[in-house]
Amino acid sequence: MHLNHKRTLLVILIVFVACTMLFAQPVGETKKPKRVGIISAMDTEIELLLSEAEIERVDEIGGLNFNVGKLCGDDVVIVKAGIGKVYACAGAAAMFNNYDIDYVIFTGVAGGVGDDTHVLDMVIATDLVSHDYGTITDEGFYWRDEYSEDTKGRIYCDPNLVDVAVLSAKQVLGESRVFTGTIVTGDQFISSSKYVKQLQEQFNALACEMEGASVAAICRMYNIPCVVIRTMSDKADGVARETYEFMMDVAADNSCHVVMKMLEYI
């Protein structure tokens, strides 16, 4: 073979190998689209999201409907898990055992606990506490650290998701209506100014609800980043039930709008 032909073939071979190494996807490292799990307690808290989503199918698992599809261009699984800590845990675990979830957003309404938070303000949890976990004695109820000494009973949300939630909420609701801090969870609808004061003093809480800490605990077990966002439907005081029933739908929709804005950044 002529020397020039050999050189030409060698150059072609080198280019071919270089291109193969540059563009070939390593085995086992195929990039997959991210999938966001969206969890709520009640139908009204995801109604707007479902109306805006392109739902491909609905899977019934354990009596829950998992809505699989796309929202704002992202792959999502949306579920109403139910009210209270038990249903929240069951819904989150069922989601993680059946779908490949990258991030979790818990969305919904809550009672305002902080002095500076008002109805229709949003609280984005930096951390969560189960306020009703403890021991009842003849002297009363004593809360105790539920998880570990180093976290003092607190479960922390993913800081990157918190930042995205704050950015999105400020764009949707306005900067003055967005707060970050501790959200407390318990299996009670709080309608007591006295108990609100206790939650402030003991936990420095800004909001109270019935699911967030449980979902965050399951996310931690599965090592899935999560954030809990809550729009205040009431002030958890003596007229909380009346305020909640009047403002619940508006508050729930506000949280949904923030979720959709978040999906633009995640």
Instruction: Please give the positions annotated as active site.
Output: 45, 234
Q: What is the DSSP string of 99-157?
A: S--SEEEEEEEEEE-STT--TT-EEEEEEEEETT-EEEETTEEEE--SS-TTTTTEEEP
- Residue 90 phi/psi, 5° resolution? -60, -45
Within 10 Å of residue 221's Cβ, how many Cβ atoms?
Answer: 12
Residue 183, phi-psi category: left (phi > 0), alpha (psi -120 to 50), beta (remainder): beta
